[in-house]
Structures are given as C-alpha cells and as structure tokens.
Amino acid sequence: MKKSCDLDLSALRTSLLWLLGAVIVASLLIASSLHFRAAMENEKRAQDSRLQALVRNYQDLVEAERIIETLFGRYRKLEARGFIGEEPRLQWLETLRRMGEENGILAMEYRLHEQRPYSLPPAVDSGSYQVYASAMDLQVDALHEGDLLLFLDHLHGQESGLVVVDGCTLRRQGGDEVLPGAANVRAACKLSWFSIRVQDDDAMGGEEFM
C-alpha cells in the first residue's frame, strides 16, 4: 500500500512539474509577445514621425520654392524698372520728357543732382543693400492745374524707376484768366529718384543733368 502511494506522489509531482513548466513557457511567450508588440508599436510611431517630418520638409521645400519664384519675379521687375543696380539716369530723363509730352506739359526744365545714400528708418533692415536717392529740381508749365496733377500722377506710376514727389509750389501766370494754349500755371517741384544696390559698390553718379 505504501508503494502505491509513493507511485501516486511521484506521478503527481511529475504532472505538477510539467504544469509548472508549461506555465513558465506560456508566461515567457506572453511576455515576449507583449515586448514584441510594444517594440512594433514604438517602431510604427517612429516611422510615422519620420514620415510626418518628410512630409513637412517637402511642404516647406514647395513653399520655399514658391516664395523664391515670387520674390525672384518681383526682383526682376524692380531690376527692369532701374530700381536695382546702377541708376539709369538717362532712362529717367527720357521717361520724364515722355510723360510731359503725353500729359500736356507745355515746357519743362530740370536738374538731376548726383545720387546720395538715403537713410532708412532704424526699424528697416536693408541687409547688405544701400538705398540711394537722386534729388531733382523740376519746373513745368501747364495749361491748368489738372494737366499738372495728371502729369505727376502718371510720373509716379510709370515703369522706369521709383520716383517720389517731395513737394510742389504752384504759381498762376497772367492773372486769373485761362488763355487757350498758354502756360497758365507754373509749378516748381522737388522730386527724388530712388535706386538700391550692394553697399560694397560705392560708385556714385556724380554728374548733374540739365
């Protein structure tokens, strides 16, 4: 009877050991599975982050390219107008004469002074560029004030250079009566023609044009 009991205990011990081994193996498999799942989730999050970064970089590049194309187009337009680079003084004077002929100016006298560095407000950062201004004394005769205002408005909006009218003094000629075809109004104006170029380029347009 004792021998039978020993056999039962031995069989039970063996079964328990197998069960314990199975539990340990199952636990290891579950732990390994959880670890693998966590690693895969971390890898997926990392891949998603890298993908989002690539998408953002691509979008930034597309936006930067669009900005460059826009700014370069504006740069070329300003360059064509004579605002960037050496001042096109002869072109400015030709534009002035043409605007006068097209807007009923009867007579015109002018003096374009040499360009000088223009001081921008402290809040404006021009970088490596220097803005220059060339002052002009302008006297024009017109039939009436309307012709003068039209001339100045068209001069301000023309495509050759950037010009600002600093001020004008009007004087009527020959009393209050408006004579057909006569210079009834004379205006003495102060203008400024602007240009911009790299600061290292110190060449100055020293001549005065009459």
How far apart CA 171 and CA 86 sit, in angstroms, is 36
CA distance linking residue 164 with residue 26, whole number of Å: 87
Which three-class secondary structure state does DSSP give residue 201? Answer: coil
Which residue's structure tokens are 């404006």? 124
**pLDDT 10s digits, 101-136:** 988 889 999 999 998 988 877 777 767 778 889 999
Instruction: Read off the DSSP letter of residue 179.
Output: -
CA 73 – CA 67 distance, rounded (Å): 10
Q: What per-residue confidence (pLDDT) applies to 2?
A: 47
Please state whether the predicted TM-score (pTM) of the whole model is above 0.95: no
What is the per-residue pLDDT for 84? 79
Residue 40's CB: how many other CB atoms inside 10 A?
10
- Which uninterrupted H or E stretch holds 13? helix 2-80
**How far lies 210's CA from each of 90, 108, 158, in Å?**
11, 11, 21
Q: Distance between CA 205 and CA 210 in Å, rounded? A: 14
Instruction: Check residue 204 and give its pLDDT.
Output: 44
Q: Please report the pLDDT score of residue 196 as a whole number.
A: 84
pLDDT digits (tens), the chain, 210 positions: 544 555 566 666 677 667 677 667 677 777 777 776 777 777 777 776 776 776 677 567 667 667 666 666 766 777 766 677 788 888 889 989 999 998 888 999 999 999 898 887 777 776 777 888 999 999 999 888 888 888 988 888 777 778 888 999 988 876 666 566 677 888 999 999 988 887 764 444 444 555
- The string of DSSP codes covering 111-150 is EEPPPEE-PPPTT---TTEEEEEEEEEEEEEESSHHHHHH
